[in-house]
A and B are shown apart, each in its own frame.
Chain A
Amino acid sequence: MPELKTELRNNIEQLLNDQAVDVVIAFKKADLPLRPQPAFFRNVEELEDLEYNGLCQNNLANYLTRYPHDTKIGIVVRGCESRSVNALIVEKQHPRENLYMIGVPCQGILDIRKIINKTGEDITDYSEDGDQVSVIFKGNEIKLQRSDLLHDSCLRCVHPNPVNADVLLGDPLPEGDPTIVRQAIEEFEALDRDERYAWFQKEAERCIRCYACREACPMCYCTECFVDHTTPRWTESDISQAGTQAWHIIRAFHQAGRCTSCGACERACPMDIKMTYLTDKLNKDMLEVYQFEAGMDDNTPPPFASFNLDDKNRFVI
């Protein structure tokens, strides 16, 4: 996507030259070809390193909460990121007027693990052109199909286009199919109770409690997480079964009505633990019961932050 990158660069250059923003959050090239990293551009000269491709794994909305409210931030957003930004605006983590969202329609993030499985660890270069991805592995060029490498949560993506972006670069993409994610959850629900618990146990017991999922998540911005409390101690903080299960349950439940299914938690996990089957279920329930989808606008509060007297019909007496 060289044209998109040039367009992005020109846009950011203009923003910084006009002093419309103090800082632009985007991606830059890193030492490893498969790992572009988040970058914070304050000068035009730094833009040499700007990168944008399918390997940009992080959700950039994560860095929004780390700035004071009066900082004018420009941020490059894909579909899920723009919704995360909107959800953060609803929760008053940054005022909308001090934000400039540069929207990029997202064709999906590639899963590094899938690439490495197809080739090997020692990849020295990476480039992409449309649906084709080519990597240099031990001096040989290997061509791969982009659709085979998409991350699982991007395969289920419903809103690839940025919501409420100030400027949209590139052409909007067709909306995704919401039945795919629903089907996956219904398949899991159809399983036997013991099978469901066995699956959950198997996933949770691998957890090493590194909290990479928490650090990668834009909605996990509490200054002190419940697992870090010592007085009182809510859960066991070691890798005991009770501790890891409590972490996975409560982490997911804290995202109810706030998660935008970006999959950053799964991509960050060093143990390759599946987590989106938990948050997707909560998202599905929020949509069915409260007709709410996180981040689709910047003023509707999430269902658990509000209440409605109509709920009283659901009280079972």
Chain B
Amino acid sequence: METRPKIALFQCKWCLYSEPDQNWVDNELPSSMHLVKLPCTGRINPLYILNAVQGGADGIVISGCLPEKCHYKEGNLRALRQHDEFLNFLDYIGYERSRVRFVWLDLQDRGRIQKELADFKSEIAKLGKAKVLATRSKVSPGGQYA
């Protein structure tokens, strides 16, 4: 049986300007996609991306606001610098960079996130399951916060 690719969506909570889009992401996201909602793309620590990769995500989408449209003025500029380099770095040790997609959304981009996610999903389905760096043990190590 062909398994559906698992996708983690890191979403800046300000980037979806139209309410239907935000509602769709909040309530109607396909079950193979996992939503992580953050105050800004600048809040994404490289560790979050690595955690998703190690935990078995086949693809990662990071959606944020355009430059100069950031709610916190400069968060997305910092995010771009860090994540760009972090993905270069992961590529250097063997991870496929095409498994991560940035979606920078503008005010008039209604309904774009659905299209992007569907497009990305079919792309990841072509790439297959992630083999590199997906090393986290499936069994929880235990403890309250594990």
Contact = CB atoms under 8 A, between A and B. Distances in A.
B145 A246 contact: no
Interface string B87-113: 011101111100000101010000000
B137 interface: yes
SS of A interface (majority): helix
B22 interface: no
A285 B85 contact: yes
A260 to B, nearest CB: 18
Contacts of A303: 81
Nearest to A236: B141
Interface string A191-225: 00110111010000000000000000000000000
A307 B74 contact: yes
A307 B73 CA distance: 11
B104 A317 contact: yes
Interface residues of B, number: 37
Interface residues of A, number: 44
Contact of A246 (B50, B66, B102): B50
A43 to B, nearest CB: 46
Interface stretch (B1-9, B28-36, B128-136): B128-136
Interface in A236-291: 236, 238, 240-242, 245-246, 249-250, 252-253, 256, 278, 281-282, 285-286, 289
B20 to A, nearest CB: 22
Given A250-B46, A253-B89, A316-B102, A194 B80 contact: no
Interface stretch (A59-67, A160-168, A227-235): A227-235
A304 B81 contact: yes
A246 B68 CA distance: 33
Interface string B45-66: 0110011001000000000001
Contacts of B135: 240-242, 245
30 contacts: A193-B94, A196-B93, A197-B132, A197-B133, A226-B47, A231-B145, A233-B143, A233-B146, A240-B135, A242-B135, A242-B137, A245-B54, A246-B51, A249-B50, A249-B89, A249-B90, A250-B46, A250-B47, A252-B89, A256-B85, A278-B89, A289-B85, A307-B74, A309-B67, A311-B80, A314-B84, A315-B80, A315-B104, A316-B102, A316-B104
Given A249-B50, A253-B46, 10 more contacts: A193-B132, A196-B93, A231-B145, A234-B51, A238-B141, A250-B46, A303-B81, A307-B77, A307-B81, A316-B104
